[in-house]
Chains A and B, each alone.
Chain A
């Protein structure tokens, strides 16, 4: 069920991970770069995401407009995404066509053009992408909450970047960022699916071996100082629905505390899982759903504990019922959180969370694309061992661990409480 993974480094420092899976005539290839919005400074925010867009704008070998058609023509799907800690590009192709993806990624690792005209036309596209997000009240609330949670650390700003910077970033800023971080020694390639390991290894050595290593990219080291006291904020807008958001500073994924926190999140807001492609599970028996939705205070609640390199935040978002006020939801949230502070969960509740995680793993395993995603994703903040040990680590969590995590992290002094308020309801929240 879990075939072995071949791992090695090329002499130029690039890491390679290969996993043969012969269940469908498909291969999924992912190139991961250790760069994201975490590596950006004020004035240049959004630059990692913009570089990702420029990676579709052509090299001498695959000019703009050729690249996208080349993959689609072979029946492949491809995409890219930029996160706080990483940027990734994937192609899932019929097995006999994967060589195109390998060649294309090797090429654009070092040969992208960043044509000034293309940079300008992409500027308006990215501004439009941000404007689309600004239409959503939860984006606007989240942006302010994030900036409040991270005054010092570069998780401060949105991955899309601040609008001010999207107007002023120049071609050379983008190109320099690309040259600094898009280097084999800052990259990982993961290939999973229907291939022979030895042949794939040779092909990757042939294509990626000649690429020149660069200097070790610079990293920011500005840890966020501990928060002292709860921060409360409101964002107003013309949308008619009220939202309540909670951010609690949380541990990094590589810390032992992360695993009991996953169980705690599962109990509070339902199982989240790690699937990018695969099924999910509803959360109607979670404690907060019962308290808030079954208590006729909210129409929905969700939570998430992102796996990150530096400490990030555990987040809970509540959509408030139109006939209820934010303050009522906040009081109910506090009551329910007090319960997990006061008493450990039952052993059965913890075991249930583990079974849910096992099911989510099985769903994610149906997809080769998702299996390749897991391999690279976990390498970005820890290692693939983190993934293979994940279920065992969850199974080892005790009720006392969960209570300790709640007491450590779910303190009001450790949180940012944000409310999105329809403009006409201003004044309903007491601060």
Chain B
């Protein structure tokens, strides 16, 4: 049997280019393919109030035409060799991801560079994209799960920029002009603190050279610093909101509170606690209470979305509309238990074993490894993080879990959103 070999200082190549781009590379010669992924420090936090969705709109436009190629030429180049590349707007960052056979890595990087640096926002493409974005928002407005999540964010992040959806609203997408897109790109896109991970059948030095060739001469002296996040005001009471979507058969619930940021010192306590609470096995205690015991839902689980800022710590469940109140009360009862009682040693041992044991599985594909490398950089975890990971997990105690749970969750101070008929 072979030994697990997690990415570490010995086999991750990390190079900072002169323009501030961080390149991370790791080889995997088991398949003749390569993954390129990463992010730039531009996101929805830069969106003006009346033009929510602008950063996302810009990211979706990058492949719609560049100074070198039109829309069909870009995709002809990619698809004819079975490669893929896409950009995705987020709150703090715009991410990108692509995959190709190894012989096409240079092409992939060239298209990435063109998209980031040379987009031209053709009028017809912008309008076509706008129609697609608006249709997406129509679908969102009729999706019980999406609307429960959106409403939850608005309740829990009242007065905080996280209340805004990254993809905006129909009226704000309508308000964005082609010039807005071009201006936003010119002002905000730049190489500083951009991160690119290359994982696949290529030597790390060669990967770095190829990234340097494609992006090494990119500059933007005016690139702004990431905006400062205001602090979040914690909820003082139970706030609830129902969204009615006629014609639906099932309702979705999203409830919870603001959780930790990834860099918070109690992250591992919260994360293991969340596993016990609503992940482990068939979705932890939440799944046990709502699905297994009460038979109320096909899915019921919790999630901790710790990111650059304080992400939500929430529970999701899809239930028959008649059972909304019953499910909410079951979930609140589990939250009450979670924040007042120590988790069992056995429960914690199980979740620790799961966290440590599943790490090799998360690194199975090039995409998995690339994601792991990006995490190191995004949260300053250090190149030896995956080698230290088991120790970090094992250091968590039931007392630590309780402290983290009770710091962030309270059964009477929750945002509760439900969307359904």
List residues of A whose CB falls within 8 A of some B CB. Answer: 1, 22-26, 56, 64-65, 68-69, 72-77, 92-97, 120-129, 131-132, 134-135, 194-195, 237-241, 270-271, 277-285, 290, 293-294, 296, 299-300, 319, 321-323, 352, 355-360, 362-363, 365-369
Contact residue among B4, B76, B99, B281 (Cβ-Cβ distance under 8 Å from A25): B4
Contact present for B135 and A65 (CB under 8 Å): no
Q: What is the bound-complex CA distance between A97 and B360, given in angstroms? A: 13
CB distance B357 to A131 under 8 Å? Answer: no
The reply to whether A282 and B75 form a contact with Cβ atoms under 8 Å apart is yes
B296 at the interface (CB under 8 A from A): yes
Residues of A within 8 A of B296 (CB): 124, 128
Task: Give the contacting residue for B298; candidates A22, A125, A282; CB below 8 A.
Answer: A125
A281 to chain B: closest residue by CB: B84
State whether A68 touches B100 (Cβ < 8 A): no
Does B80 touch A at the CB level, under 8 Å? Answer: yes
Once the chains are docked, how many angstroms separate the CA of A131 from the CA of B293? 19
Q: Which of A126, A284, A352, A369 has the most CB of B within 10 A?
A: A284
A25 contacts B138, CB within 8 Å? Answer: no
Contact, CB under 8 Å: B80 / A359: no
Any A CB within 8 A of the CB of B381: no
Partner of B101, one of A25, A94, A282, A362: A362
Residue of A nearest to B364 (CB): A367
Mark B276-296 against chain A: 1 for CB-CB distance below 8 A, else 0.
000011100000100111111
Chain A residues closer than 8 Å to B33, beta-carbon distance: 359, 362-363, 365-366
In the complex, chain A residues whose CB is within 8 Å of the CB of B349: 73
Contact with A26, one of B76, B83, B282, B364 (Cβ below 8 angstroms): B364
CA of A322 to CA of B291 in the docked complex: distance in angstroms? 38
**8 Å CB interface, B112-157 against A:** 128, 131-132, 134-136, 138-139, 141-144
Complex partner residue of A75 from B72, B81, B245, B357, CB under 8 angstroms:
B357
Kindly supply a per-residue 1/0 record for chain B positions 29-47, scoring 1 wherever the CB is within 8 Å of any chain A CB and 0 otherwise. Answer: 0111100000000000000
* Distance, CA A77 to CA B280, complexed state (A): 11
User: Contact: B246 with A128, CB < 8 Å?
Assistant: no
Residue in B closest to A289 when the chains form the complex, CB atoms: B75
| 22 A–B pairs (Cβ distance < 8 Å), ordered by A | A1-B32, A75-B354, A76-B358, A124-B295, A124-B296, A128-B250, A132-B250, A134-B250, A195-B1, A238-B245, A279-B367, A282-B75, A284-B75, A285-B75, A285-B80, A322-B134, A322-B135, A355-B81, A359-B82, A359-B100, A362-B32, A366-B33
Residues of A within 8 A of B395 (CB): none
Distance (Å) between the CB of A153 and the closest chain B CB? 27
Interface string of B15-55 (1 = CB under 8 A from A): 00000000000001011110000000000000000000000
- Report B-chain residues with C-beta under 8 Å of the C-beta of A135: 143-144, 248-250
Residues on the A chain within 8 Å of B139, using CB: 239, 241
The residue from B134, B142, B249, B319 contacting A134, defined by CB atoms under 8 A apart = B249
Assess the B360–A94 pair: CB atoms within 8 A. Answer: yes
Q: Min CB distance, A22 to chain B, in Å?
A: 5
Chain B residues with Cβ under 8 A from A121's Cβ?
A: 292-295
The 10 residue pairs across chains A and B that have the minimum distance between CB atoms:
A75-B357, A359-B82, A238-B247, A129-B298, A121-B295, A124-B295, A68-B281, A284-B75, A131-B250, A356-B82
Contact of A72 among B76, B131, B249, B354 (CB under 8 A): B354
Question: B225 — which chain A residues lie within 8 A by C-beta?
Answer: none
Nearest B residue to A97 by beta-carbon distance? B357
Chain B residues with CB under 8 A of A25: 1-4, 360
The answer on a CB contact under 8 Å between B295 and A271 is no
Alpha-carbon distance A65/B358, docked complex (angstroms): 20
B292 lies within 8 A of A282 (CB): no
Instruction: Choose among B30, B86, B282, B295 the residue that contacts A23 (Cβ–Cβ < 8 A).
Output: B30
A162 to B132, CA, bound (A): 34
State whether B357 touches A360 (Cβ < 8 A): no
Bound: A56/B132 CA distance, A? 41
Q: Which of A95, A195, A355 contacts B80 (CB 8 A)?
A: A355
> Known contacts A75-B361, A322-B138, A323-B131: does B320 contact A359 (CB below 8 Å)?
no
Tell me, rounded to whole Å, the shortest Cβ–Cβ distance linking B419 to chain A.
10
Contact (A73, B354) CB under 8 Å given A56-B282, A194-B2, A285-B72: yes
The reply to whether the CB of B91 lies closer than 8 angstroms to some CB of chain A is no
Q: Does B183 contact A (CB under 8 A)?
A: no
A280 / chain B contacts, CB cutoff of 8 Å: 84
Residues of B with Cβ closer than 8 Å to A?
1-4, 28, 30-33, 71-72, 75-76, 78-84, 86, 99-101, 128, 131-132, 134-136, 138-139, 141-144, 245-250, 280-282, 288, 291-299, 318-320, 349-350, 353-361, 363-367
- In the assembled complex, which residues on chain A have CB atoms less than 8 Å from the CB atom of B297? 125, 128
Q: Is the CB of B128 within 8 A of A293?
A: yes
Residues in A neighbouring B141, C-beta threshold 8 A: 240
Query: When the two chains form the complex, which single residue of B31, B247, B361 contacts A362, counting CB atoms closer than 8 Å?
Result: B31
Known A-B contacts: A281-B83, A357-B82. Give 10 more (CB < 8 A).
A24-B4, A73-B350, A75-B361, A132-B318, A238-B248, A241-B138, A281-B84, A282-B78, A363-B99, A366-B31
Contacts A26-B364, A132-B298, A279-B99; is A285 near B79 (CB within 8 Å)? yes
Q: Distance (Å) between the CB of B230 and the closest chain A CB?
A: 35
Q: When chains A and B are docked, how far (Å) is the Cα of A98 from the Cα of B187?
A: 53
Q: Is the Cβ of B298 less than 8 Å from the Cβ of A72?
A: no
With a CB–CB cut-off of 8 A, which chain A residues contact B291? Answer: 125
- Are A77 and B295 touching (Cβ within 8 A)? no
Q: Kindly state the separation between the CA atoms of A184 and B245 in the bound complex, as whole angstroms.
A: 48
Inter-subunit contact A123/B295 (CB<8 Å): yes
- Report which of B1, B82, B292, B320 forms a contact with A271, defined as CB distance below 8 A: B82
Q: Cα distance A367–B28 when bound, in Å? A: 12
Residues of A near B83 (CB, < 8 A) are 281, 359
For B100, what are the chain A residues with a Cβ–Cβ distance below 8 Å?
359
B269 CB to nearest A CB, Å = 19
User: Given the complex, which residues of A lie within 8 Å of B245, measured CB to CB?
Assistant: 238
Residues of B within 8 A of A125 (CB): 291, 295, 297-298
Q: How far is the CA of A271 from the CA of B101 in the complex (A)?
A: 15
Q: Chain A contacts of B361 at CB under 8 A?
A: 26, 75-77, 92, 94, 369
A296 touches B249 (CB 8 A): no
**When the two chains form their complex, are residues B358 and A240 in contact, meaning their CB atoms are under 8 A apart?**
no
Write the chain B residue with the least CB distance to A26: B360
Q: Is the CB of B350 within 8 A of A367?
A: no
Contact B132 A300 (CB under 8 A): yes
Please determine whether B365 and A352 come into contact, CB atoms closer than 8 angstroms: no
Q: Tell me, in angstroms, the Cα distance from A204 to B349 when the chains sit together.
A: 30
Output the least CB separation between B332 and chain A (Å): 20
Question: Are B280 and A69 touching (Cβ within 8 A)?
Answer: yes
CA distance A125 to B297 in the complex (A): 5
Given contacts A125-B298, A355-B82, contact A238 B246 (CB under 8 A): yes
Please give the distance in Å from A105's CB to the nearest CB on chain B: 17
Given contact pairs A65-B288, A125-B297, A94 touches B357 in the complex (Cβ within 8 A): yes
Instruction: Please give the distance in Å from A128's CB to the nearest CB on chain B.
Output: 4
Q: Are B75 and A126 in contact (CB under 8 A)?
A: no
Q: Complex Cα distance A195/B2, Å?
A: 9
- B73: nearest chain-A partner, CB-CB: A285
A135-B144, A281-B79 in contact; A366/B364 too (CB < 8 A)? yes
A281-B79, A300-B132, A362-B33 known; A77+B350 contact, CB < 8 A = no
Residues of A within 8 A of B3 (CB): 25
- Chain A residues with Cβ below 8 Å from B247 are 237-239
Chain A residues, Cβ within 8 Å of B31: 1, 362-363, 365-366
User: Bound complex: CA of A104 vs CA of B262, how far in Å?
Assistant: 36
Q: Are B281 and A72 in contact (CB under 8 A)?
A: yes
Judging by beta carbons under 8 Å apart, are A65 and B292 in contact?
yes
Q: Which residues of A lie under 8 Å from residue B367 when comparing CB positions? A: 279, 366
